[in-house]
Amino acid sequence: MKLTLGFSPCPNDTFIFDALIHKKIDTGNLDFEVSFEDVETLNQQAFNNQLDITKLSYHAFAYANENYQLLDSGSALGFGVGPLLISHKDFDLERLKTSQAELKIGIPGKYTTANFLLSIAYPELANKEEMLFSDIEQKLINKEIDLGLIIHENRFTYQDKGLVKIMDLGDFWEQHTGCAIPLGGIVIKRDLPENIKQEVNRLIKESIEFAFTNPDSGIEFIKKHAQAMDEEVMFKHIELYVNEYSKNLGPEGRKAIDNMFNMALEKNVIPKISKNIYLNP
């Protein structure tokens, strides 16, 4: 049986899926047709019900819940992993409250978890421009935007380009909830047979365990898709975003996700979720 699978070319995703898609583990009668896209493109594809299995932002999952369920394996959650609000100069946080209409903010997508957290912290910041996450730093350097919301490897590179951190939205989340921050998850179509969904969940976990046990096995594959990323940054990226929550959400991971959706519903950031989020264990 062939299943379509979408994930990003970022090192955390290629690290997770290398063993699965290259059959370094036994996938039985399952084959995977892979597409690599940035997370906001994957979000949009999920809204259109295009892929059998896909990575997407937790924010976006609230809008794709009708057709997809969340797998326990493959997620990116953690402490100290949140998006950063940066600028080309020092910035008084009070100005965010008093000069919101004047400020132009570059965001990596409307349905990213990063934008969700910014909406929670500063709901009045409305002058946002969506752009590819990897373009935000240069837009700031060119002074085309006043603030940039960065994710992924950019949290390791912005200082080298003379940019400054204004706020860590991950810290904001952790201080308010005490939970790990849910960034992205792996979802699967609801209408697939239950045994297939369970098997995919098991295989992704096995793929992650293989990667942890054989960390050099997928290095060439990861490098190939890392967009000329410095190797040290690449490994930092993996270390930051792939952890025990990636193997299995567990009670604490599910608590963090539930907290995020409950907070978002209270603030009318997402629509009401009508179906069970999780794949039954």
Residue range 131-147, pLDDT digits in tens: 988 889 999 999 999 89
93 marked among binding-site residues: no
| 3-state secondary structure at position 182 | strand
pLDDT at 59 over 80: yes
pLDDT at 94 over 90: no
Same fold, 2-78+182-266 and 84-177: yes
DSSP state of 152: G
Q: Which of 223, 85, 90, 232 is nearest to 156 (CA)?
A: 232
Structure-token match 């297939």, residue found: 196
99 marked among binding-site residues: no
Question: CB-side exposure of 42: number of CA atoms within 13 Å?
Answer: 30
Domain 84-177 has CATH 3.40.190.10: yes
Q: Which of 57, 83, 243, 80 is nearest to 154 (CA)?
A: 83
Residue range 198-253, pLDDT digits in tens: 999 999 999 999 999 999 999 999 999 887 567 888 888 898 889 999 999 999 99
27 marked among binding-site residues: no
pTM value is 0.87
**pLDDT (0 to 100) of residue 101:** 60
211 marked among binding-site residues: no
From first CA to last CA, the distance across the chain in angstroms is: 22
pLDDT at 67 over 90: yes
Domain 2-78+182-266 has CATH 3.40.190.10: yes
Q: Which two tokens stand for residue 111?
A: 């349905």
User: Active-site residues: which are they?
Assistant: 152
Give the start-to-end residue ranges of the domains of the chain.
Answer: 2-78+182-266, 84-177
**pLDDT (0 to 100) of residue 120:** 82
Query: What is the rounded average pLDDT of the residues 84-101?
Result: 75
Strands 76-78 and 181-189, sheet pairing:
antiparallel
114 marked among binding-site residues: yes
**pLDDT (0 to 100) of residue 100:** 59
- Give me the phi and psi of 278, to 5 degrees please: -95, 150
Contact (CB, 8 A) for 197 and 3? no
Residue range 165-201, pLDDT digits in tens: 988 998 889 998 999 999 999 999 999 999 999 999 9
